[in-house]
Amino acid sequence: MRRVGQRKEKDFAMHSMRAGMLALAGGLVLPRFLPTLPPLWLVLGLAVLGLACAASRYRSAGLLLLGFGWACVNAQWALDGRLAPALDGRTFWLEGRVVGLPDRREGVTRFEMTAIESRHDGLPDRLRLAWYGGPDMRAGERWRVAARLKRPHGLVNPQGFDYEAWLLAGGFGATGTVKAGERLEAAKGAGGWRDGLRTRLLGVEAAGRQGALAALVVGDASGLSSADWRALQATGTVHLMVISGQHVGMLAGLLYGLVAVLARGGLWPRRLPWLPSACALALSGALAYGWLAGFEVPVRRACLMVAVVLLWRLRFRHLGVWLPLLVALNGVLLLDPLASLQPGFWLSFGAVALLALVFSGRLGAWRWWQALGRAQWAAALGLLPLMLALGLPVSLSGPLANLVAVPWVSLLVVPAALLGALLLPVPLLGAGLLWGAGLLLSVLFDLLALVAQWQPAWLPPTLGPVAWGLLALGVFLLLLPAGLPGRAFGAVLALPFLFPGVELPDEGQARVWVLDVGQGLSVLVQTQGHALLYDAAPRYGDFDLGERVVVPVLRGLGVSRLDVMLLSHADSDHAGGARAVADALPVLRTVSGEPARLPAALAAEDCRRGEQWSWDGVHFRLWKLERAATGNAASCVLMVEAAGERLLLTGDIDAATEGALVEEGWPIAADWLLVPHHGSRSSTSARFLDAVGPRDALVSRGMHNAFGHPHPLVVERLRSAGVRVHDTALDGALQLFLGERKPLRRQRDERRFWREK
């Protein structure tokens, strides 16, 4: 009886420990979901209450409050470390050391700088800078630069990458553009050595895959092209080309397995206990790989997880598989509470938890190929709710692609690449290994490109909270061991994912999105059964906002095809993303004010003056200046009318074109006006404004743009006329409910504590 009692006490203590650690983790991630951070006095009060609870029977509640307080304090420190609003947009001379690996592409050098010194007080200690036309830079160098600094700011749309959250999690207090500079010190330290190794890797012969080798060895992914990233994303294999927990864990596993095999074969020295030696070698290999990769946040997280797992294997295996996962989770969050702002944090711990769920508590043994297949099945299905919650595309071909790519990269490419990098000083041997690794990568990328062409990535429409909750519960049930009651019911609960309900406007009404695309324009008009895209966002070299912003928004809103893509004119800030949109979605018709200047593949028609049509009770009308040759004056103007409420979209027309439009007597009176040419001084004349008589004006532009849009005179003219001004740079994407006569909705009104307001 005493043994039974002791066992019950141990079980209770174990359950209490797990509950406490789970509560601590919950408190540490809770601020990530807050619209604003609580005031410091409240945080301190909760921390004191947490200490009192932790010392009593309410330990879990106390740990929850302590974790919450610690995360809030760290988040506030990060916010306080941002560039002061009074210094936003100003240029400063400053000194600092280059950290990380500078990225030079298309004549632009992007780099990170820390240990900032300046005569001006209040500058952040960590900056992310870009130098257009700047010189080559190396990690570890010290520079003196003149940089125009900006507070962290990103595009805010219904779907897409949250740049401001990424900057805060990375500790960047400002971004900026370098105007001039000089090198003060040559590269030194570990950063300079890593940069030198990267240079050597990019210079070897590796079947054209030097950039991928640099990504796998030193964590520099700048050598991968946009086509490479598209193939990786479409096949769900992005994690293979960034040094992540999988690479670090696999290397540790290989070193551990090597010692285990030698010990089993009697080849390991008997005076050295094989298990501690295997754990020590595995941890040393993981830390060495992490150092080589620069110990970025995902790598630090992976090294900590490997250390916890090895310690568990060495001393605490009897405690079960969930305890080390909770220890690693809390360790990462205690060291870096803002890690929860990054999608990789959720995906990495989610993947490990899924594997633990799938492989623990099963009866019987699986063959290696069965285990690999089930792991891919579990990852593809189990991570689906997380991918949807994070707004990430879903790869339908991911399980099949990873079934081949994971062992290919982990067991063949990574060992050959690391060994080749280590043996580079040895003539022929190191270069030969790197050539072999590059050849393996070349074969893999060719295969992934074929798979991506067959099955591109899919971004399903956004699910509501109820549908998402049912899907998550259904997926959990499906992943339970076979034979458990209720498991088959999971397939029924997951059905809403296959038939997502897309909210569409009623007959005679239109939903309009003015997207936040920086210094450019893209407007989506949806009726009950049709969709029109007015302009497709800018493209700057390899950076295509049509691909990165417009396409995810369209798919997230349930737009499966465009009936019309209307490109006002051919300038890159309006039509640069058109090819990406046309490649991603069927476009039934393309119209433009300058069809001859657009790529022939778009097959654009000329904007026909006076053309009009109706969709679902919503009326559309086109206009273009007949005598316009090319350029802004040739912009195709669109009027949209729903239930008597009007929206006028004007492209980049100038004051002269506005005058012609007024003189012609075209019915231009509108409730909503998209301010011509982003608010340029040469547009939005007083005469035109009087003729339109808008209630609200919409400005699409980039923060701190080089053109000074919108011009202060234009803004003053609008406000003097009693027009409310809405600005995508300040408000994020704007949603209009045309025909309902409701106030618009600003995307930045959906508060997050890290977002500028």
Asked if residues 637 and 615 have their Cβ atoms less than 8 Å apart, the reply is: no
Q: What is d(CA 6, CA 66) in angstroms, rounded to the nearest whole number?
A: 31
**Which residue has tokens 């601590």?**
24
Q: In this structure, what token pair is assigned to residue 122? A: 């209040």
State residue 681's pLDDT score.
Answer: 92
**Three-class SS state of 530:** coil
State residue 582's pLDDT score.
Answer: 94
Q: What is the largest CA-CA distance in the chain?
A: 100
**Sheet strands (E) in 336-379:** none
Distance of CA 593 to the CA centre of its chain: 34
**Digit-coded pLDDT (tens) for 403-425:** 888 888 888 898 898 898 888 88
Q: What is d(CA 504, CA 511) in angstroms, rounded to the nearest whole number?
A: 8
Phi then psi dihedrals of residue 234, to 5 deg: -65, -30
**Three-class SS state of 624:** coil
Asked if residues 568 and 521 have their Cβ atoms less than 8 Å apart, the reply is: yes
Q: In this structure, what token pair is assigned to residue 483? A: 């034979």
Q: What is d(CA 483, CA 486) in angstroms, rounded to the nearest whole number?
A: 9
Sheet holding 612-615, edge to edge: 612-615, 618-623, 637-642, 645-649, 672-674, 696-699, 724-727
Q: What is d(CA 753, CA 757) in angstroms, rounded to the nearest whole number?
A: 10
Closest C-alpha to 525, from 737, 685, 240, 228: 737
Residues in the chain with pLDDT values less than 50: 363
**Which residue has tokens 């969050």?**
333
The count of residues in the chain is: 757
Which residues are CB-contacts of 442 (< 8 A; sequence separation ≥ 6)?
207, 208, 209
Q: What is d(CA 668, CA 682) in angstroms, rounded to the nearest whole number?
A: 19
First to last CA, the chain: 64
State residue 679's pLDDT score.
Answer: 93
How is domain 510-749 classified at the architecture level of CATH?
A: 4-Layer Sandwich (3.60)
Closest C-alpha to 449, from 223, 208, 231, 224: 231
State residue 14's pLDDT score.
Answer: 62
State residue 512's pLDDT score.
Answer: 97
How is domain 85-187 classified at the architecture level of CATH?
A: Beta Barrel (2.40)
Q: What is d(CA 80, CA 128) in angstroms, rounded to the nearest whole number?
A: 17
Residue 142 half-sphere exposure toward CB, CA atoms < 13 A: 9
Q: In this structure, what token pair is assigned to residue 626? A: 């007949």
State residue 517's pLDDT score.
Answer: 96
**Sheet strands (E) in 151-222:** 174-185
Q: In this structure, what token pair is assigned to residue 725? A: 């001004």
Closest C-alpha to 44, from 62, 23, 70, 22: 70
State residue 674's pLDDT score.
Answer: 97
Sheet holding 590-592, edge to edge: 605-606, 590-592, 564-567, 531-534, 523-526, 510-514, 734-738, 745-746
Phi then psi dihedrals of residue 285, to 5 deg: -65, -40
Per DSSP, what are the bridge partners of residue 615?
618
Q: What is d(CA 575, CA 466) in angstroms, rounded to the nearest whole number?
A: 38
Closest C-alpha to 625, from 598, 650, 657: 657
Which residues are CB-contacts of 309 (< 8 A; sequence separation ≥ 6)?
324, 328
Q: What is d(CA 73, CA 380) in angstroms, rounded to the nearest whole number?
A: 36
Q: In this structure, what token pair is assigned to residue 333? A: 């969050």
State residue 388's pLDDT score.
Answer: 84
